[in-house]
Structure 1
């Protein structure tokens, strides 16, 4: 299944790593949802994935049918169910993800700020921009060096 680079994406970042068992169960739930996801009765060309054991990514190619408020609401309900079922926080925008070597780490804003302050997060540390909105941006602007991210603007006073 081929998705347009302009496909819309939504990224939900967990506050902790999913276990392999959780990931399998969540992926099954997401696959069932995305195969039946509709907007005003039109089937959406959608897919769902988990990357790095932390990020749930939903993608919809709107060239077939556009996403509506109701269809977005149904996806948010699903994500909230996953949150409750697995005791994770998927909506906290103050949790910041970054890479330490090949490993993804997630910190609260204050702890992240401390890491920047003590130079454990550098200009070249890879951070995740979960605000990307298209598949093309997911591929090119999701994982970026700290210096090229919105994070550097927010935390610039520490550099």
Structure 2
């Protein structure tokens, strides 16, 4: 059953899918509806607490309460759903190694090679906020997803 994202425990599992571009305003509601439809049929256990959030109109975040057994088949279904969204909206969602970071109020999405050039040219610096899309729990998401480069694994590029 779908529950509010904020209601899940800190131990809930997280999957983050960063979009290669911001979702257009007219895409947001249809994407949310597709995600809800997917989540309602995703896991066999209908009592399993699942949630999602769409942040910055760029990140799709799925979460499942700790203790819910996620099979390989469930993970395959999730990836297939994401692949369908990619195709339909002509976006990239599965490349977690690209760097998402803030420039002012905007979220940027760059290949690592481009990001390194930005660092070298001082277009971004150690205080630039990056998104660690590899976090795996809601606690880590709440505390370590959006941090300065120096507090992330990207600090090795400094």
Q: Would you say same fold, with TM above 0.5?
A: yes
Where is the strand percentage greater, Structure 1 or Structure 2?
A: 1
Paired position in structure 1 for 2:73 = 70
For the aligned residue pairs, the C-alpha RMSD in angstroms reads 1.2
The reply on whether 1:33 has 2:38 as its aligned counterpart is yes
Unpaired runs of at least 5, structure 2 = none
How far the C-alpha of 1:37 sits from its partner, in A, is 2.1
1:107 to 91, 107, 110: 110
1:21 to 21, 26, 46: 26
TM-score w.r.t. the length of structure 1 is 0.90
How far the C-alpha of 1:35 sits from its partner, in A, is 2.2
Asked if structure 1 preserves the Cα contact closer than 8 Å seen for 2:96 and 2:134, the reply is no
TM-score w.r.t. the length of structure 2 is 0.91
Please give the alpha-carbon distance, in whole angstroms, between the structure 1 residues aligned to 2:93 and 2:58: 9
DSSP-derived class of the 1:119 partner: coil
Please give the alpha-carbon distance, in whole angstroms, between the structure 1 residues aligned to 2:73 and 2:57: 28
**Equivalenced residues, count:** 152
Q: Alpha-carbon deviations, 1:65-102, whole Å to 9, x = none?
A: 32111111111110000000000011123421100122
Paired position in structure 2 for 1:61 = 65
Unpaired runs of at least 5, structure 1 = none
How far the C-alpha of 1:42 sits from its partner, in A, is 1.4
How far the C-alpha of 1:112 sits from its partner, in A, is 0.8
Please give the alpha-carbon distance, in whole angstroms, between the structure 2 residues aligned to 1:92 and 1:133: 16
Please give the alpha-carbon distance, in whole angstroms, between the structure 1 residues aligned to 2:88 and 2:106: 25
DSSP-derived class of the 2:92 partner: coil
DSSP-derived class of the 1:137 partner: helix
Paired position in structure 2 for 1:150 = 153
Q: Alpha-carbon deviations, 1:17-42, whole Å to 9, x = none?
A: 1101112111100011112221xx31
2:93 to 90, 95, 107: 90
Large movers: runs of 4+ above 4 Å: none
Paired position in structure 2 for 1:134 = 137
